[in-house]
Amino acid sequence: MGKKEKVRKHYQKPKINQVELAMDEAVLTNCKWDAADTSGKNSKGCGFAACKTTFGS
Amino acid sequence: MEPSETLGREASASVSERGLQEFIVNIAGISIFFLFDKSPLEFGIRNIESEFITDKPPQIKLQMHNDGFPEKKQDKKIFDSGSTWSLYRNQGMYLLQDDSLDPGSSVEKLVILESDFKSGDIYIKNDLFNQNLIPDPLGYPLNQVLMILLLSHLGGLLFHACGIEDRGLGYLFLGNSTHGKSTMARLWSENQATVLNDDRVIVRKKDGELWMYGTPWHGDFAEVSPKGIPINRIFFLRHGKRNKAVPKEDREAVSMLLTRCFPPLWDKKGMDDSVGLCHLIANKLPCYELSFIPNSQIINFVRNI
């Protein structure tokens, strides 16, 4: 039985992928409370959908 | 029958004369116990109703206070969003607050977590203590930042995504704002599918599979489910002139996953784990970029992929 031929992979230089984040979304700062009729920041009256959430509704 | 897990149970509880002073919320298999130090009746809180309420044993216990804030100095800044929240440490504990660390900031909610993430305290200003805070006492964005912290500790990742269960299959549609997640949720709902959530979905490893779980934090489409199901396909949404699904290679898919999730950017190990989970998702699951026209034809198009 012949020797199993070793298959060598061509060397590929590692590549750096730069990932661009939408920062206001990635760090949860995109509340639009200043544009809405609110009595306080982050309130349920905020215009941003996530702020309007009624838990589990 | 495909496996699925209902994490919460349809539940409601009325505040009795004695006063209901505690409840447990279960999101993605993580149970959080909230305990009041006074009867919620005093604040007009009369009922607690949510499918996310559970009787499972809690993994984290949080005591709620409304009688002033403790004096806590910042030993070490961890992360400051600059506006809606910040995180820092004091004597080994984690402190999460609903404003920046700037001297002029006005903090109305403060969470203090022990370093093992098993217990902590929530301080809420008295005039904010009302029915709207129940059963999600923290509100946006602290509720989600707390979950990001817990997931970095317990495993899992919060995605900007819409989760759908259709005919026993789990589809995860990822996208940032305006990419069509709520539209997709509405279309699937009109076609007898279950919407887990149209905006925030948690992915965790379970029994060698990748599962997705509904959260309470929805977008424009308000129906949510606490259910957990295995994921069968991943779609990256974009608007198009025709319905088209283009398979994505692992490397591209990992990049697209990373830009559509909420990783713990302040935590090196947490970031390593997040990238690792994105790699696993891209390796194990078929991923597609999905261009679509917002009408019901997309339903059969996806079913036939």
Exposure string (b/e) for B116-125, b if CB count within 10 Å is 16 or more?
Answer: ebeebbbbbb
Instruction: Report helix, strand or coil for B158.
Output: strand
pLDDT, tens digit, 9 for 90 and up, residues B91-122: 999 999 999 998 888 899 999 999 999 999 99
Per-residue pLDDT at B106: 87
Question: In chain B, which residues touch A (CB < 8 A)?
Answer: 49-53, 79, 81-85, 98-99, 108, 128, 132, 134-136, 139-141, 144-145, 160, 176-177, 199-200, 216-220, 222, 224, 226, 251, 255, 258-259, 262-263, 265
Distance CA B77, CA A18 (A): 26
Residue B155 has what DSSP assignment?
S
- pTM of the entire structure? 0.86
Confidence of residue A52 (pLDDT cuts 50, 70, 90): very low
Q: Is the pLDDT of residue A40 over 70?
A: no
Residues of chain B in contact with residue A44, where contact means CB-CB under 8 angstroms, are 132, 139
Domains of chain B, start order: 11-154 (no CATH), 157-303 (3.40.50)
Per-residue pLDDT at B5: 59
Name the closest residue on chain B to residue A51, using Cα atoms. B140
Distance CA B94, CA B200 (A): 24
| B30-36 sheet: strands from edge to edge | B22-27, B30-36, B60-65, B119-124, B109-113, B93-97, B86-90, B76-80
Q: Please list the ranges in chain B whose pLDDT falls under 50.
A: 1-2, 7-12, 14-18
Per-residue pLDDT at B50: 81
Using CB atoms, pick whichever of A20, A50, A57 lies closest to residue B140.
A50
